[in-house]
Amino acid sequence: MRLSGRVVRSGLCGGLFALAVAGTSAGAAEYTLTTVADNLDSPWSVVQLPDTGFLVTQRGGQLLRLAPDGAVTRLGGVPETYVAGQGGFFDIVLHPQFETNRLVYLSYAHGTPQANGTAIARARLGEDALEEVEQILLLEPLKDTPQHYGGRMLFLPDGTLLLTTGEGFDYRDAAQDLHSELGKTLRIDADGGVPDGNPFGDGASERIWTYGHRNPQGLALDEETQVVYLHEHGPRGGDELNAIVPGNNYGWPAITYGVDYSGAQISPFTAAEGMQQPLTYWVPSIAPSGMAWYGGERFPRWRGDLFVGALVDRDVKRIDLEDGLVAGEESLFSELDARIRDVRTGRDGYLYLLTDGPQGKLVRVGPAVP
């Protein structure tokens, strides 16, 4: 289901730390788009540092540090990564006490063509390299396909860490199997242990938080209500946005609004008892990737909304939330004409976008120049 929305048009100046160009649309917030960095090689995730610089992962296994003055450093000490198909480096997040402990968390594909899976490494950020690198999670079981890794992470207010995992493409039924960590969200302590409060035991993986997912690549926390939002890729159609609750089953592949890439039916059902319905879904697919909840002061009209990157639609969907439900959708930033891989809210109250591909960019969204 696609909700109606307006497309906002504005200009873009390319180049490192380029001048911004304002864009407006009737009924839409005014904004500027500024290229912070370009010539990024298939960037996947970005996080802003306290000094207003950035860390950027590239799917090929590189981690870049972008200094506030524009200097770019390729950091050493990164974990060994399985780069094939959709595999490589994925997300990066900072420990909630990063300013004192300098800890960062990376998700990535680990293993071989015959046995690979999503992993998390914890490390301390040094000047030009990661230090004290330790793998604290490796998905179980491993698989022999280079697709559907999930890979998004999110720290919860209690200091525990969520990780999304895909079902490996050829293992769709594993999403319903509580003995398998494929097609799930996992919750761990900051050191990789199993925290109190996870919903499953009795032979199930104790790290599982929710299940029934296909390939989730977006996580965001509503900092006012503490609701966790997740989006995931459907097959041909059926991309979903969900509000996730521990212990719940989100249906894949038993229920879906999509069909197989061949056009064949995956399931005759779009609803079933004990399986959650999405807040909204997209047919045809938008290929959602990256998501941010906005709570800043620079765009008052956008406060409390979600921003979802769309690889296929080459825009960002602003999801208007009212009382936890989707009240509308607006298409933004299509003038970039780029696949949007990640969307983040910065510490400075701006939105940041990563465009996908071998000539990727980091773009800042700010208020229009007066």
Distance from first CA to last CA of the chain, Å, rounded? 37
Q: Are strands 103-111 and 72-74 parallel, antiparallel or unpaired?
A: unpaired
Whether the bond between 113 and the residue before it is cis, its omega within 30 degrees of 0, is no
The reply to whether 179 belongs to the active site is no
Q: Which of 95, 110, 148, 233 is catalytic?
A: 148
Q: Read out DSSP for 155-212? A: E-TTS-EEEE---TTTTGGGGG-TT--TTEEEEE-TTSPPPTT-S--TTS-TTEEEE-
- C-alpha–C-alpha distance, residues 291 and 74, integer Å: 25
| Cα gap 344→368, rounded to integer Å | 19
CA dist 266 and 136 (Å) reads 35
Question: 3-class DSSP state for residue 125?
Answer: strand
Rounded distance, CA 185 to CA 181, Å?
A: 8
Neighbours of 226 (CB within 10 A): 10
Which residues are identified as catalytic? 148
